Amino acid sequence: MALTKISTDGVKDDAITKTKIPADQIETSEIASGAVTSTQIADNTIVDGDIADATITLAKLEHGTSSNDGKFLRANNGADPTFETVDTTPSFGSQNISTTGTLNCGQITTTANIELSSSDPVIAFTDTDDNDDFSIRGGGGLLRVRSDTDAADRLVIDSSGNVGIGTTSPSQKLHLKDTAPMAQIESSSYSSFVGTAESDNNIGNGTKAGNLVLRGQTGISISGNGGTATQVKIDADGIKFGTDTAAANALDDYEEGDWSPNVQQGGVGISSNSSRYVKIGNVCTVSCSFVPSGSGSASASVIFGNLPFQSHSSHAGSASIMHDGFDESGSPEPTVHAYIGGSTTNFLIYYSRVNGSGWQTARGNEVAGHQMIFNITYPTA
C-alpha cells in the first residue's frame, strides 16, 4: 500500500531539505494559498534564476485602488492593476519629496519648496574652472553669502534685516566695514568720476549731476564715535552741527557769484568793475573793485546800489576802503569807509580825518576817477 499522506506532526524539523526534493516535483497547485509566507523563506534562498519568466504578474503584487493610498500600483475600475503616477512621499534617509513636490532635507513637514534643516545648513556652489567657490549658509541667526575659497563671509543679513558687508554684526540697515570703506553709486550712462576717489572718501559720485541721491524721512545724519554721536545733520531747516537742533542756527544757504554796483545818486558812473559776492546762511560778503567815472556832483552825496541781497533791518555793515586818492579840500588824507544801513541794497562812502573833523559823506566829484577796493560783510534780511 502506497503512502499518500504525511501530517506535519510526523515530520521532524529540518528533515526535508531542498536537496531531497527533485527539481520540478512540487507544482503550484499542490501548495495551499497562503501556506508559504515570507517568514518561511530564508534570506537570499530565492534568486532571480529560480523564478521563471512571467510567473509573477502585477496582480500578485500589493496594489491600491485610489490615488491617495500611497501605493505605486493601482487598479482602475476593477481592472488589472497597472503602474500609475501616484502622489506619495518617497523618503531617502533625512531627505524626502512631499506630495506637493517639496524637497525636504532634514525635516519632514515644511511649507517651503526646498528646505534644508540643520544647525548650519549650506548650499554650495563649486566652480569646476578653478575660480572661487561660494556658498549660501544659514545658522546662528544669520543668512551669509560666503567665499569658501577665502573662508570669509562676504555679505550677511541678520534677523532684523540689517545687511552687513565686511562685518557679521551689522547694526544698521546697511553696515559697511573696512579699513577705508567706500560705496560707489554710478550712473549706467557714465563710467568715470569727478576728480580722484581718495581712500578716505565714503561715497564717490558720478560725472553727471543727479547720479547720487540720499534720502531720509527726517533728514540725513553723519555720525562719528561708532555711530553714537551726530556730527552733521541735514534736514528741512538746513545743515546743523553737533547736537544743535535749533532751526534758527541751521546753515540753510550758500551762494556765490558776480555782481555789478550801480549809482543811485552823485552824478558818477561805474567803470572797470570787478566785484563778487559770497553768501553763507544769512551773512553776505561783497568784494568790490571799481572806478567811479565822470566828473560827479559837488553837492550831492554819492550813493551806490544794487547789493546782491538786502541788509537786515536792525544791523549794518562797514569796511575800510583802499583808494588811490581823494579829491576833497583839507588835510591830512582822510580815512574812507563804505557803509551799509538797515533794510537796503545801497551803500554810501564816508570819510574822516584824524584831526577830529568827523565823518562826512563823500560827494560825487570827490570819488570820481579814483579806484576803490574793499570787502564788506553784512547780515542779510
Q: Which residue has the higher pLDDT, 34 or 145?
A: 145
Identify whether residues 289 and 236 lie together within a single domain: no
What cell numbers appear for 59 in the block? 496582480
For residues 262 and 275, give the distance between their C-alpha atoms in angstroms, rounded to a whole number. 12
Which residue reads 562826512 in cell numbers? 360
Q: Is residue 327 part of a domain?
A: yes
Q: Which residue has the higher pLDDT, 22 or 254?
A: 254
Mean pLDDT (the chain, rounded): 78
Q: Is residue 261 part of a domain?
A: yes
Least confident of 2-16, 98-112, 113-127, 360-374: 98-112
- Phi and psi angles of residue 9, each rounded to the nearest 5 degrees, phi first: -70, -20
Identify whether residues 138 and 164 lie together within a single domain: yes
Which residue reads 551689522 in cell numbers? 170
Q: Is residue 198 part of a domain?
A: no
Identify whether residues 106 and 136 lie together within a single domain: no
Identify whether residues 340 and 292 lie together within a single domain: yes
Identify whether residues 126 and 111 lie together within a single domain: no
3-class secondary-structure state, position 295: coil
Q: Is residue 328 part of a domain?
A: yes
Q: Is residue 288 part of a domain?
A: yes
DSSP labels for 60-129? GS--BSSTTSS-SEE-STTS--EE-------EETTEEE-TTS-EEES-S--SSSEEE-SSS-EEEE--TT
**Residues 158-209: pLDDT tens digits?**
999 999 999 999 988 888 888 766 666 555 554 444 433 333 333 444 444 4
Number of domains in the chain: 4
Q: How many other C-beta atoms are found inside a 10 Å radius of the C-beta of residue 365?
A: 21
For residues 126 and 34, give the distance between their C-alpha atoms in angstroms, rounded to a whole number. 55
Q: Which domain holds residue 96?
A: 61-117
Identify whether residues 357 and 281 lie together within a single domain: yes
Identify whether residues 229 and 268 lie together within a single domain: no
Identify whether residues 242 and 345 lie together within a single domain: no
Last residue of a domain, one of 231, 250, 269: 250
How many angstroms separate the Cα of 149 from the Cα of each of 132, 140, 142, 377? 5, 21, 20, 63
Q: How many other C-beta atoms are found inside a 10 Å radius of the C-beta of residue 1?
A: 3
**Residues 111-143: pLDDT tens digits?**
666 777 788 888 888 888 888 899 999 988 999
Contact 136, 122 (CB under 8 A): yes
Burial readout 282-294 (b: 16 or more C-beta within 10 A, e: otherwise): bebbbebebbbeb
Q: Is residue 2 part of a domain?
A: no
Identify whether residues 332 and 374 lie together within a single domain: yes
Contact 349, 355 (CB under 8 A): no
Identify whether residues 321 and 344 lie together within a single domain: yes
Instruction: Say what the pLDDT of residue 203 is.
Output: 43
Identify whether residues 260 and 314 lie together within a single domain: yes
Identify whether residues 369 and 306 lie together within a single domain: yes
